[in-house]
Amino acid sequence: MGGRPRCAAKRCAVRRSPPLYRSVRRRRGPAVSGRRVDRFIPGGAARDYRIVMDAIAPDVASTAPAVLAVSGVGKTYEQPVLADVSLALHAGEVLALTGENGAGKSTLSKIVSGLTAPSAGSMQLMGRPYAPASRREAEALGVRMVMQELNLLPTLTVAENLFLDRLPQSGPLRFGWIDRKRLRANARAAMAQVGLEAIDPDTPVGELGIGHQQLVEIARNLIGGGGDGDNASDGGDGPGDMRVLILDEPTAMLTGREVELLFEQIARLKARGVALVYISHRLEELERIAQRVAVLRDGKLVRVDDMANLTPERIVALMVGRELGERIDLGQRRIGAPLLRVEGLTRAKAVRDVSFDVRAGEIFGISGLIGAGRTELMRLIYGADRMERGVVALASTPGAAPEPVQIGSPADAVRLGIALITEDRKGEGLLLPQPLAANVTLGNVGAVSRYGVVDAARENTLARTQIDALRIRTAGPAQPVGELSGGNQQKVVIGRWLARDLTQPLRVVLFDEPTRGIDVGAKFDIYALMGALAREGRALVVVSSDLRELMLICDRIGVMSAGKMTAVYARDEWSQDKLLAAAFAGLRAEDALVCDAADLPDAAGVPAGVPPGAAARAKQQANDDPRGSAS
């Protein structure tokens, strides 16, 4: 599951902020434990649940002071992407920032966090002019951002990544000698805040899966923010005390247990007067933790309101500018004979003796907890990693029995008609500085070149075909793909395979977290695309951390746990309880990367040792009628 995150520059020490900037941290919000709220289920009745948080403050927009004020902010690249946005962020509140991909959420966040300069407008932090020239300067003033894409150094250890800018020193003069013992202790305290207690702080980050890397990124930004791990920040001078924290899709790769730990930390930060901006397309999360919601559409702020005044349906309508259906129709499909068969696939402890088949026209889902081996399985099928043993078989013609094939590399898989939509689009799926056209045609250069020279006109024509087909929001084929929003970048990755399909038909498509960081409207576009591919007789394998998503689109779901496929359910066989129990079934006490031994399922199919509220929260990942979910 490991990606290749871009390097993060080491931050320099900045002189302490004036007393005015230290005043927020001393404020404390009211503590209300276990507040009961209603959760809206599209297509069903409201159900209630308890929020497990240490402190949940009421709406403080009208009484708490403004920590950050944004006035008339805009940003223009080749065309305007943000226009005349004015917004105030208050101490001790969570403001949900929503909108479709390309609406301007990430651009606004980057402006606030010093990653890019606005083309118009101004900002104030604690009543003073605020115009950070860099991320370092913003962090020195207490404004931090957990970006959607990882910003870690894969060759350094977890502990070194957490304290890269404040490595504790040892010796009488402390000149360059790292105090490894104190570094490990500090790292363990910071990791405990996000549920990574079982991971060795000396583990290189590149050896962790994407989900665990996301938790490391979150823990790095929580250090010094006023949580339980404040003592972990004694390794040296670091950024200023946290005033504002921006979380951009922080739970996209997390499962229920990790999400709950993150929410507990958010509650603690709120109680200490930190102002938070929470960006997520998971509307049920916004209902749980946000007091207000701001909706962006086409770069403009269309609504700011109390969360209690808006239903999920209304928020979606404001985001996309239209009402969105609650069901997905993938069309009539003929599910034929097995097209892909996997037998006994094994690689160390990550994937252990996994066998399954996928039929022509079928959408086969794979669920499981982080670290269960789902992504590792996809990489073995695609030839990105070497299997220790096992067989991958493909049917040579429709209706024929699958025959073993040799896949020693991704090139072999591509020649056989197998495609992989990677979970790490920036690290493994895209050339960020290159134009959109070059990224779309990367897998089909022969179709746009002659005598080894790329024909720019043909390249742009092919790119425009995918731009129109997938409704990619872009200034044109020449725009660098790194400037696009996360959802539009994902569409570019999919468009590359569709462009290749014009010359070499795809037979099997492996989707690894295909809708990670994609808005509600775009998700349904992706689902419709999957339905079209299945109707054409292709075999689809979909890995997703969103259980509702799998229940919405899949014909069968296989569940992985601790590297094994513990169960496979057809649509009329699965239930939320069965899928949850199967996700825990392969775990043992030593497999503590995901959960404790006390969380193992009992004979009734519900994990023993799970608190009563935890099982209910896990069920929130799926609706009773999954086809009625807006996901």
Cα 263 to Cα 269, 310, 583: the distances in Å are 10, 21, 22
C-alpha 472/C-alpha 522 separation (Å) is 10
C-alpha 553/C-alpha 524 separation (Å) is 10
| Tens-digit pLDDT profile for residues 478-488 | 999 988 877 78
C-alpha 259/C-alpha 22 separation (Å) is 29
* Residues above pLDDT 70, as percent of the chain: 77
Structure tokens at 238: 């670091």
Q: What residue segments make up the domains of the chain, in order of their start?
A: 327-417+508-517+533-631, 431-504
**Residue 271 above 80 pLDDT?**
yes
Q: Within 10 A of 411 (CB to CB), how many other CB atoms are there?
A: 10
| Tens-digit pLDDT profile for residues 95-120 | 999 987 678 888 999 999 999 999 99
Please give the biggest Cα pair distance in the chain.
75
- The pTM of the full predicted model, rounded to 2 decimals, is 0.56
Mean of the pLDDT values across residues 441-461?
89
| Tens-digit pLDDT profile for residues 162-172 | 998 788 887 66
C-alpha 631/C-alpha 629 separation (Å) is 5
> Higher model confidence: residue 338 or residue 222?
338
**Residue 607 above 50 pLDDT?**
no
C-alpha 607/C-alpha 600 separation (Å) is 5
Q: Within 10 A of 464 (CB to CB), how many other CB atoms are there?
A: 17
pLDDT at residue 78 in the model: 67
Q: Within 10 A of 31 (CB to CB), how many other CB atoms are there?
A: 12
**Residue 28 above 80 pLDDT?**
no
281 φ, ψ (degrees, to nearest 5):
-95, 0
**What radius of gyration, in Å, describes the C-alpha atoms of the chain?**
24
Amino acid letter at 311? T
Structure tokens at 30: 């009211």
Q: What are 418's strand-pairing partners?
A: 508
* Average pLDDT of the residues of the chain: 78
C-alpha 542/C-alpha 330 separation (Å) is 15
Question: Per-residue confidence at 394, pLDDT binned at 50, 70, 90?
Answer: very high
Structure tokens at 367: 């669920």
**Residue 593 above 70 pLDDT?**
no
H helices of 430-543, in order, are 436-440, 456-470, 486-500, 520-535
Cα 592 to Cα 89, 350, 579, 610: the distances in Å are 38, 14, 20, 15
C-alpha 464/C-alpha 435 separation (Å) is 12
138 φ, ψ (degrees, to nearest 5):
-65, -45
| Most confident segment among 298-302, 381-385, 589-593 | 381-385
Structure tokens at 157: 């250890």
pLDDT at residue 523 in the model: 79
Contact predicate 295/281, CB 8 Å: no
Question: Per-residue confidence at 617, pLDDT binned at 50, 70, 90?
Answer: very low
127 φ, ψ (degrees, to nearest 5):
85, 0
* DSSP letter assigned to residue 19: G
Using a CB cutoff of 8 Å and minimum separation of 24, what contacts does 611-618 make?
A: 613/49, 613/50, 613/52, 614/256, 614/257, 614/260, 615/580, 616/49, 617/49, 617/52, 617/256, 617/260, 618/256, 618/576, 618/580
Structure tokens at 295: 């909706």
Q: Picking from 16-30, 69-83, 117-131, which range would have the lowest pLDDT averaged per residue?
A: 16-30
> Higher model confidence: residue 444 or residue 625?
444
**Residue 253 above 80 pLDDT?**
no
pLDDT at residue 167 in the model: 85
C-alpha 95/C-alpha 90 separation (Å) is 9
Count of alpha carbons within 13 angstroms of residue 43, beta-carbon side: 15
483: nearest Cα among 436, 523, 526, 427: 436
C-alpha 316/C-alpha 302 separation (Å) is 12
Structure tokens at 559: 């569940």
| Burial grade of 343 (CB within 10 A; 0-12, 13-18, 19 or more) | middle
Question: Per-residue confidence at 214, pLDDT binned at 50, 70, 90?
Answer: confident
* DSSP letter assigned to residue 354: E
**Residue 173 above 80 pLDDT?**
no
CATH of the domain spanning 327-417+508-517+533-631: 3.40.50.300
C-alpha 2/C-alpha 149 separation (Å) is 13
| Tens-digit pLDDT profile for residues 308-342 | 999 888 887 888 775 544 456 777 888 999 999 99
| Tens-digit pLDDT profile for residues 41-53 | 233 322 232 222 2
SS3 label, residue 322: coil
C-alpha 293/C-alpha 304 separation (Å) is 6
Helix (H), strand (E) at residue 182: helix 180-192
| Tens-digit pLDDT profile for residues 231-247 | 444 443 333 478 999 99
Q: Within 10 A of 568 (CB to CB), how many other CB atoms are there?
A: 18
pLDDT at residue 395 in the model: 95
| Tens-digit pLDDT profile for residues 61-70 | 445 678 999 9
- Label residues 372-406 b or e (16+ Cβ within 10 Å = b): bbbbbbbbbbbbbbebeebebbbbeeeeeebeebe
Cα 372 to Cα 154, 174, 349, 381, 545: the distances in Å are 21, 42, 10, 16, 11
Task: Collect all residues with Cβ–Cβ distance below 8 Å to 515 and sequence separation of at least 6.
Answer: 490, 522, 523, 526, 544, 546, 549, 631
C-alpha 384/C-alpha 394 separation (Å) is 18
* DSSP letter assigned to residue 503: T
